[in-house]
Amino acid sequence: MGNPKYQVDGDPRTSGPGFGITLHKDQLDLPRRWVTPRTIFVNSMSDLFHPAVPDSFIADVFAVISDTPRHTYQVLTKRSKRLAALGETLGWPENLWMGVSVESARYTFRIGDLRQTPAATKFLSIEPLIGPVGELDLDGIQWVIVGGESGHGARPVEYEWIVEVRDQCVADGVPFFFKQWGGRTPKSGGRELDGRHWDEMPGSLVS
């Protein structure tokens, strides 16, 4: 699956003009051929729960994930309402990490939608962080990622917005991963926050 609007990597499946969703069913079997365990970010350039993606295709992706437990899959969506609606109809293997994007307080409703799913590992991608998110309900959340925006015209992220999330994660014992400050390029501002790198992952904290 791909969105040619955003992909210009030279691959005929994912390059060229256009704004529609393209399903690449021929790629579904690839993970079955990979013997060495990998961490796979599913649809990094699009959204598996986009309205144009058939329910049957989503089920096929989940089936591949279930059939390849040696890999760890991360799925991220902004379409949390559809995610919640389909949640009970899908098989939820342990090696699937399900996340939602929460760019500001306006989108915190997605956390409740995520919590309705049976996903074993639920995570929040608070990236790009474009405004304060306020108090978060982290019950049932296993991981939080925060990062500033990068690229041309990137909106600056405020220190206070980041530490507000970090401090809530620390208080609730939720692993916190600070990805970047952002800027003209992803590496412009580095990754250090309060004198250290925050690279916590699910299962990395011992209560």
Q: Where are the domains of the chain?
A: 38-180
8-state DSSP, 122: E
Give dist(CA 67, CA 47) in Å, integer.
Answer: 21
Count Cβ atoms within 10 A of the Cβ of residue 188 and give its class: 0-12 exposed, 13-18 middle, 19 or more buried. Answer: middle
Give dist(CA 186, CA 163) in Å, integer.
Answer: 19
* pLDDT averaged over every residue in the chain: 90
pLDDT of residue 10: 45
Amino acid letter at 43? N
114's tokens: 């995520």
State the Rg of the chain over Cα: 17
pLDDT of residue 169: 98
pLDDT of residue 207: 47
Give dist(CA 35, CA 175) in Å, integer.
Answer: 29
pLDDT at residue 101 tops 80: yes
pLDDT of residue 26: 83
Quickly state the pLDDT bin for 8 (edges 50, 70, 90): very low
pLDDT of residue 19: 52
pLDDT at residue 1 tops 90: no
Average pLDDT over residues 101-120: 97
pLDDT of residue 14: 47
User: In this predicted model, what pLDDT tens digit does every residue of 35-84 receive, in sequence order?
Assistant: 999 999 998 888 999 999 999 999 999 999 999 999 999 999 999 999 99
The reported pTM is: 0.89
pLDDT at residue 118 tops 60: yes
pLDDT at residue 99 tops 90: yes
Residues 6+ apart with CB under 8 A from 27: 1, 13
pLDDT at residue 204 tops 50: yes
User: In this predicted model, what pLDDT tens digit does every residue of 144-195 receive, in sequence order?
Assistant: 999 999 999 999 999 999 999 999 999 999 999 999 999 999 888 999 999 9
